[in-house]
Amino acid sequence: MTTSNDLRLWLSRHGLVQSDLAVICGVSARCVRFWVAGERPLPAHLRLLMRAVDDNKIDLPWLAKVVGEETKAA
Phi, psi of 41 (to 5 degrees): -70, 150
Q: What is the mean pLDDT of residues 48-61?
A: 95
Residue 9: pLDDT band with limits 50, 70, 90:
very high
Residues whose CB is less than 8 angstroms from the CB of residue 57 and which lie 6 or more positions away in sequence, other chains included: 51
pTM over 0.85? The answer is: yes
Report the pLDDT value the prediction gives residue 74, as an integer from 0 to 100: 66
The full set of domain ranges for the chain reads: 4-73
Phi, psi of 39 (to 5 degrees): -85, -15
